[in-house]
Structures are given as structure tokens and as C-alpha cells.
Structure 1
């Protein structure tokens, strides 16, 4: 199986002094996702949690909704002649009776680690229908205190083990409304990190994640907002900016979307009904 990090020798220049030294880099390799033997997508990712990544990807595409629809996930040999397994091809076997993905869902080019939407046949194909519509009321997730939200980025950063060695990974984490860390995943692609979280939750039988807060280390794109909605996550908080389309989707779906979550400062772009300020509900 591929490694999460790799070592390379680099030329280092500091204040005019030149030296060589080893550097730790985050690994990036392609992974092909198949469903019952049929190629569906190829994404660039950091090896590790590959089965969770594949499962989460299929949740966001509307193929899977709960653990009972998943039979098993296996690695496939990468050569027709039965050559050595590269552990870069994953086949998701659906449970009997679960329909295969509709025609047109296949990505027509490689997705990159920075853009999980590249190669979509059409924008309409992105707007998949969630099985877990978000309730208009805050329940079952308790109202959130902004002071609790404010500390979550630091807790996410503290849980990023590989980032400390490479400086080159995005992260996503699930927290309770009280700020307890439930799970964290790292990947060279921010959308992959979220898929790994959601896929692990599906495999553990924990979807929908209606009592969780999703925190991401970068910006909040439309795709990340969509992945939250598809998994039934009511709150998405990002340390950077959201896109206009992410805000539109959050407003339409009932998702609470927080951006620029830095220290005690944050912007709430949608779903303010789940927050309290000084003990009072925000309307």
C-alpha cells in the first residue's frame, strides 16, 4: 500500500548558506474507484483510508446512503495480466438490490486533489438529492455557542499528525455540539478528507450525522457544502471563505454555514437559527 509520506533530498538556502537535507513530503497518488467492477472515477489522493474515501465519495454522489447498501470494498490488481497490486484501484461491491449508478455519473476526466468537481458531465449532475434532509429546527443538534465553535480550528490543527511533518495536507473533522472531537481525516485534497470522514461514518453505521459539526481547514466550496448535506450534517464551519454557490446551497438546504472561523471571529452565512449569542437564540 502507498505511503502517506515520502522523503526527498532538497537544496536548502538560508541567509545565503546552501546545504542539502532530507525533506518529508505528503504522498499523492491516483486512485480509481469502481462500482461492481465498473470504473466510476479517478481521484488524486493521499494513500490511507482508501475504503472510507471510496464509500464517502459514493455517499456524496447519492449512490450509498447507509451501511446496509454496502456489501464490501476490495483492492483490485492494477494489471490485466495479474501483475503486482498497486493498491490504487478500489472496487465497491453493492448489496443485492442496490441499483448501480446512473449513466452519466462517471467523471470524464481525472479529478484533482484540489477540485473534486472537475469533469462532471453537467452542473445538474452535481445537485444530487439527499436522503437525509436537514430539519429546519436546531434539533436534534443542540444550539451552538460561538465560543465553542471558536476553539474547534485549534483542536482540528492539534489532531493533524501528518500536517506537522509535511505542512502539505488539508484536514476535516467531526465534533459534537459541545466541542468533543469525534473523528479527523487528512488528505492532500480537502474534498477527499471530507469523503474519508463520511465514508468511515457510513461503514460504522452512523449516517446520517445529524448531531455533528463538520470543520474544514480551508475554504468552504459548493462541493463541501453538498457533501455535508448528503451526509445529513447540519453545520459546516471553515477557517476560510465560502463560495457564493456554497452559500446558496446552504440557504436552500437548511445547512448552517460558518466561514472565516478564526479565533473569536466568524461570519455566519446561513442557518443562524442553530446558534446562540449570550444565551439568546439567533434568528
Structure 2
């Protein structure tokens, strides 16, 4: 169910906001303006039924809605999402997402109340079985070189405009097999950034047929692996470490998981054969 009136997009908050601060630098206090990242409650409502509330950066929200629906298995393909429109209230933003009847019927069967925070993508799940949901095994069609991963990591900073202004953003990037950053999304939550990227990819014709990988500015946690696997992403690289649970799930799905991507260095946890020259 969509809002009755079209939204004035000017009503959406900016992704960052200035704030006067006192900063100690070079041995003295000084007044300054800092840009702070916005952190806004975003409710995801499917066919009029509230499903999840996440704290997120209010940018690329249509990508976020579509990516969340795909990465959580609520819809099986982008065509099952007919639209996503935001409405703003004093409490936050609601994304009104219209999905196919089949997907909505399945959602009602497995109903859960997932209340997220910027540091956790699984908070509020009703039982342990739902935490590690089953994900179909990935194909083995992608290969990438260590040099391409290093090139993407080196190019990442230049794309992080919000991070440069606020210092509080995670990023998710889809990178070509040559290490070029093709698509890029930022958010205060690492899993939100990935959902936004997945949504943006879903709107890109033919992306599944192209070699590439996802690069994250965060650690490789289990929700990152699950969301990427659900979206059919075979290779995930992260600038920080992977957790043990993330590695176990990556191994089960057949994903190549790479961590500690810093300069020419990296660690491959699973799927060594997809990284050229590693075996």
C-alpha cells in the first residue's frame, strides 16, 4: 500500500548535517564546524505491514528497500518489487514497499520482527533457527586477481564522499574484474550499505553476467556473507577481518571470502580457487 499523496523529496533529511564543535588541535582549543552523519529510523513496510526498522543514512532509500527485500529473501527477483516510496514523519522515514502477492504470502508465513541497529543486522530475530537461514549454493563462474582487489581498495577512498565529510560511514562497492569501482553506496551501517548496493545492482541490466566482486570497508560479519550469498554474489572482500561464523557460512554457500585487504596484502578464508594464483 502506497502513501496517498506524493512525497515532497525536499522533506527527506540530508545524509549529513553541520554541527558546531570545540576541537583540540595543535595544542589549542578552537571552534569549528563538523559534518555529522545522519542516523534515522527507517521502517520497511511490505504491502502495508511493518516488517523491520533499521537505523540508516537517509540516502538511496529505494535501493535500500529493494536490496533488503532481495538480501533477506523476501522477494526472489527484482521484478517482484513493484515500487518503494518514502514518507516522512517526526519519528523517522517509512518505506512503503509494494511486492508481489506470492512474495507477500510467503513473508506472512515466516513472519518475524527484525529490529536492527547500525552494529547488528540480526537483532530481534524471534528464534535461533532464523539467524542462520539456509541460502542456496553459489555458482563458481567468477575469478579475480589479487591485484584487482588491491586496485579496488586503493580507489575506494576517492569514492567515499560522505566518509570524508563525516568519518562515520561504511561503504559497499561492486568492482569489476579489473578492480574498477562500478557501483558504490555508503551508510552508517555496513549491512545497510550492502543492501543499498544490492538494490542498485538489481536495477543494473546484465550485472549478473559480468565478472566482479563486492568490497566492504567493514569486517566480514555473518550478515554480510548471508546477504551477499542471497543476492548471488560469489566473491566478497573486506578491509578488516572475518568472523569465524562468517567463514563457516561462506564455506557452506561456496563463497570466496577475503579479509584484511590493505595495499597488496589480503587473507583468503574460503574459495581459494577463485583468486588467481593463490593455489
Q: What is the TM-score normalised by the length of structure 1?
A: 0.87
Moved more, 183-192 or 194-203: 194-203
Q: Secondary structure at the match of 1:13?
A: strand
* Counterparts of 1:208 and 1:130, CA distance in 2: 17
Give the conservation status (yes or no) of the 8 Å contact 2:68–2:199: yes
Match of 2:116 in 1: 111
Q: What is the TM-score normalised by the length of structure 2?
A: 0.89
Superposition RMSD in Å = 2.0
Give the conservation status (yes or no) of the 8 Å contact 2:240–2:259: yes
Give the conservation status (yes or no) of the 8 Å contact 1:53–1:192: yes
Moved more, 250-259 or 8-17: 8-17
**CA shift digits 1:98-152 (9 cap, x unpaired):** 33314454325x3111111111112321333446x312x4x2x2x3211211221
Match of 1:123 in 2: 128
Matches within 5 A, 1:210-229: 211-229=211-229
* Counterparts of 1:107 and 1:97, CA distance in 2: 20
Report the number of matched residues: 267
Deviation at 1:76, TM superposition (A): 3.4
Give the conservation status (yes or no) of the 8 Å contact 1:145–1:276: yes
Deviation at 1:261, TM superposition (A): 0.9
Q: Which of 66, 69, 85 is residue 77 of structure 2 equivalent to?
A: 66
Query: Is residue 134 from structure 1 mapped to residue 145 from structure 2 by the alignment?
Result: no
Q: Secondary structure at the match of 1:149?
A: helix
Structure 2: runs of 5 or more not aligned: 1-11
Match of 2:153 in 1: 153
* Counterparts of 2:128 and 2:66, CA distance in 1: 22
Deviation at 1:39, TM superposition (A): 0.4
Match of 1:261 in 2: 261
* Counterparts of 2:98 and 2:130, CA distance in 1: 22
Q: Which of 48, 53, 69 is residue 37 of structure 1 equivalent to?
A: 48
